[in-house]
Every structure is written in structure tokens, then in C-alpha cells.
Amino acid sequence: MPRKPIPTLSDVFTPTETPAHLARDVIESALREAIMDGRIPPETPLRQEEIAALFGVSRMPVREALRRLESQGLLHIQPYKGAVVTALINQDAMDAYGVRLLLEPEALRLSLPHLSDTDLADASARLASLRSARDSATLARLNREFHMALYRRAGNARLLYLIEQELEQEERFLRFHLSAMGTGHQARDDHEALLDAARSGDESRALALLRRHLSQAEQAIRHYLADQDNPESPAGDAPRTAGEPK
Amino acid sequence: MPRKPIPTLSDVFTPTETPAHLARDVIESALREAIMDGRIPPETPLRQEEIAALFGVSRMPVREALRRLESQGLLHIQPYKGAVVTALINQDAMDAYGVRLLLEPEALRLSLPHLSDTDLADASARLASLRSARDSATLARLNREFHMALYRRAGNARLLYLIEQELEQEERFLRFHLSAMGTGHQARDDHEALLDAARSGDESRALALLRRHLSQAEQAIRHYLADQDNPESPAGDAPRTAGEPK
DNA sequence: ATACTCTAAATTGGATCCAGGATCCAATTT
DNA sequence: AAATTGGATCCTGGATCCAATTTAGAGTAT
């Protein structure tokens, strides 16, 4: 009996050459999903035996799944000590915004002339959903999908792959911290203007808007992280990662 | 007597950061090396049992090593069919040059003001070695090291990581095809001029040279690949490498 | 001879077992 | 009481065994 396949967008890059539901693939997808949407918070140690029991398999497929997740940067494995979920975006990882400021405008520039009405409608649909969505997880996902919809026709698979990597990292961060940051409306206006520029095919305006949007997002996160590390107004209590061992 | 009577053991023993030589890590490194320098050519199927026997271990550490190499893009694994070494740069992978044309000039721009005499000496040393090196493997490696030496001070770890990834792919390709391409001297002049511009801190000239260098390298490889696929003198041709099975 | 079917060998996926390192805790020492 | 040590326990790394799948080959019918 084929189990319900877990829809992962990484399937976009691996053209579903794995029709069989191998345990290791099921576990890998499930763990990635769980890590990405925060059900498994950062710093959580992953015990092979525990996961194996959870899925009703032996430790073997778990081990192979963990190895792959490590290569994808979601886990950190130390010999004889095990795997822990990697931390979210921190000050060091802010470098990614510098990279995105290079990659995404170029992707948009390449994609703009080839965007179809369907593509624009897809992006618009995400925006509409963004307005009504309440939970951070959905908001973060829609944000990524909106951006990718605009870049989709860039015609450079490698470029799109790298951008998606960065966007997934941001998504994971936003799922955790978006509500505490409270900059959703800011980004919404940016998105509206960006989509409008894309619709009219105004390249220079669209690129300028995207660059500004990314810069502001970087600044927002940078300030948020700085406040986390050194809270000046401890009114809104920062949910310090308690990390209670289960 | 203020003299310490007994030196601490940490002074006696160098705190080596790599104490454990796990089989899977040894195998992973060995296989990557072998794939990168061409001892295992593309399209080669890798049999777990064969590799295990070669290293005198069981299939288990081999399997974990293969998993990681797959995530790193060196292998392609299909369920129940096994792992094959991925093909080298092909027409599809030329996308990478578009990405490099974005990333590397930015890295050079960021790095240029902070390059020390030591960094420039390192780059110069690579150039000197490039002049005397004969085999493609060494040439390809020195090419990568020369570029990275110039970018080293960019101060954006993520950017440098991505560039290194792309350079390693190119290195792997060049180890195979550099001798057949015969464009080594072309690149040498580019490198000389680039290093000169970097020495004088002439940012705009250095960036222009780098962009031209990358564009020409892309064109050289593109033409080479086109000739491979569609040779002007169709004599006894090499086995056609069955393109996209789509 | 060619195409087809079915079987056996080859190969990978997964389960179970054992060994070695890491961690925690009590016992001993200072 | 604080620190060190011995050892019990947990967890991971690797080996071996069995199951599932693919592939190659023998055999048969057309």
C-alpha cells in the first residue's frame, strides 16, 4: 500500500526518479519537513533509535537519512556523539543576504521578459494568500513561493537552485521569528509594488524594488538578532530557547 | 620558583582536531579524491561490495559514504540500481558560469581592499607554478587556488563557499579536458593581468579583467563541448553518452 | 533467428548483532 | 567538601545476515 507521499519542493530539482517509497527517503523527507517547519527545534539531538522506533524501522535507514540531511546543512553530526539540528540564521549566516542581493536581482532580470500570465497569476495568488494567512509557517512558505514564482523563468537552473537554497533557510528562520519581528506589513507593500512592476515589465523599477526589499529584510533581521542578543527594551519578552530535554 | 614543574599534556601532544579516522570518512575522502582527479571516470557504476572489499570493510561505511557523495553532487544513486559517477560539465551545467560571473567579481571587489602582501604572494606563487606545471590535474588545481587566493579576504563566508563549489566543479572538468582544449596560455595572460591589477588595487580594471576571463573560459568550454557533440571531422567517434533520458 | 517468459544470479535495502567511544554516577582519594 | 577514578549505561560505528528488486541468461514458442 503506497503511503501518502510527502510533498517536498526539493522534488523540483530531483525529477522524481525515486518512485519507490524507500524507508530512508520517507524518513529523510519527514525529518526535513519536521526540521524546516520547526516541529524539531534547533539544537535538538536526534537519537537514531528513537527515530527508528517512531517510523517502525531499524536504525539503518535512519542513519542514511541523517547522513544526507547533514550534507544538506540541516544537521550537524559529530563522531560517536550523534546528530543535532543546526541552529537557525545567526549573525554569521547573515552573509547569505549579500549573496541573495547578487543572485535574486539577476534571476528576476533574466526571468522578467519570459514571465507568462500564468506565472504572474501564481505570484498574485501567493500575495492574496499572504494577506489572509495568519500563522508564521504559512506566511514564510508563501513568501518563498512568491519570490520563486517571479524568478521561475530565469532559464538558469543552477542559479534558481542556489536561490531556492537561500530562500529555504530564510523560510525556516521566519517560521520561528516572523511573529516576533512584526514586519509583515512592510514586506507586503514591497511585494505589491514588486509584482506591479513585474506586470508592467518595468525591469529597472522591479530590480530596484527587489534590491530595496532584500536590503530591508536583511536590516530587519539584523536588528532583530541584535535585540535578541542585547535586548534594550525587555518589554516583549524574547522567547529564549529553553531547550527542555524531553 | 615560578617555573612550571611539569608541562601540561596538552603542550606535549598537539591537540589534533581529527583524532578519529572513521571508515566512512576515509572512504568518502578517498572516493571523492578519486572521482575528482579522474581515476574513476564519469558514468562508472560503483559497486558497494567491490569498494568494501577494496578498503577491507563491510558495505555499511561504504553506503554512508556514497550517501554523502550523492548529496555533494558527485554521484547519482537510483534505488536498487546503485551509484554512478555523475557526468562532467555538460551543456546544462554551463549555467554555472552565469552564476560565477555574478559571484566572483563581487568576491574580488570585496576582497581587493583587504588583500595583504602575503595573499598577493600566494596568488603569484600559484601563477609561477602554473607556468611550469605540465599535467592537467596540477594546472586545474592551481587555477582554482589562484582564484581563491584573490577572493580570500571577501569577508563573506557564504559567498566564498559557493564560489569554491563552482571552482571545484570546473577543476574536475579541466583535469579531464584541459590538454585537449589547449587554451592554457590564453588563461595565463588573463591571470597575469588580473594579478597585476589586483596588486595596484585598480578595482575597475581588475573586475573588468575577471569578467572577461570568465566569459572567455565559458566560451572556450562551450565551443569545446559543441565540437565534442558535433565533431567537424566525424571519424571513429567515441561512444555517444546517451543524453537526457527524458 | 527473434521475441517472449521465466528463473537464477547479482546487487541493493533493511534488520539484527557486536564492539568501541561517550556520558553519567557512585566510590575513593585528597 | 572538592576532585579524581572506576565502572555501569547509553549511543553510535561497523559487521553480518536476510529480504526486495533488478538484471542477465536459458529456454521455448512463433
**What is the predicted pLDDT for the residue at B49?**
93
Nearest-CA distance from B220 to chain A in Å?
19
Least reliable range by pLDDT among A15-29, B52-66, B152-166: A15-29
The tens digit of pLDDT for each residue in A118-147 reads 999 999 999 999 999 888 889 999 999 999
The CB density around residue B158, as the number of other CB atoms within 10 Å, is: 18
| Distance separating alpha carbons of residues A178 and A218, to the nearest angstrom | 13
**Cell 594546472 belongs to residue:** B139
- What amino acid is encoded at A102 in this protein? L
Q: Residue A16: exposed, middle, or buried by beta-carbon count in 10 A (0-12, 13-18, 19+)? A: exposed
The tens digit of pLDDT for each residue in A32-49 reads 989 887 888 888 999 999
Positions of chain D reached by protein Cβ under 7 A: 11-17, 20-23
- What amino acid is encoded at A200 in this protein? S
Tell me: pLDDT of A184 over 70. Answer: no
| Distance separating alpha carbons of residues B135 and A204, to the nearest angstrom | 47
- Which residues 16 to 45 of A reach strand C, CB within 7 A? 22-24
The tens digit of pLDDT for each residue in B53-81 reads 999 999 999 999 999 999 888 999 999 99
Counting residues of chain B whose pLDDT is more than 90, the rounded percentage is 57
| Distance separating alpha carbons of residues B46 and B66, to the nearest angstrom | 9
**Any idea what DSSP says for residue B93?**
G
A158–B78 C-beta distance less than 8 A:
no
Architecture in CATH of B92-226: Up-down Bundle (1.20)
CA–C1' A81–C23 (A): 10
CA–C1' B66–C29 (A): 50
Cβ pair A152, A119 in contact under 8 A: yes
Of B130, B87, B104, B76, nearest to B218 by C-alpha is: B104
- For testing the chain A interface, which of B18, B84, B86, B162 should be mutated: the one with the most A CBs within 10 Å? B162
Contacts of A80 in chain B (CB under 8 A): 20
Architecture in CATH of A92-228: Up-down Bundle (1.20)
Q: Residue A107: exposed, middle, or buried by beta-carbon count in 10 A (0-12, 13-18, 19+)? A: buried
The CB density around residue B151, as the number of other CB atoms within 10 Å, is: 26
Q: Where are the domains of chain A?
A: 22-85, 92-228
Which is higher by pLDDT, B235 or B95? B95
3-state secondary structure of B40: coil
Give the H/E segment covering residue A77: strand A75-78
B183 band by pLDDT with thresholds 50, 70 and 90: low
- What amino acid is encoded at B86 in this protein? T
B98–A102 C-beta distance less than 8 A:
no
Positions of chain C reached by protein Cβ under 7 A: 11-17, 20-23
The tens digit of pLDDT for each residue in A67-84 reads 999 988 899 999 999 999
* Reduced 3-state DSSP string for A12-25: HCCCCCCCCCCHHH
Nearest CB to B102; choose among A79, A103, A157: A103
Domain A22-85 has CATH 1.10.3720.10: no
Nearest nt (C1') from B55 Cα? D14
| Distance separating alpha carbons of residues A83 and A69, to the nearest angstrom | 10
Question: What value does the mean pLDDT of chain B take?
Answer: 85
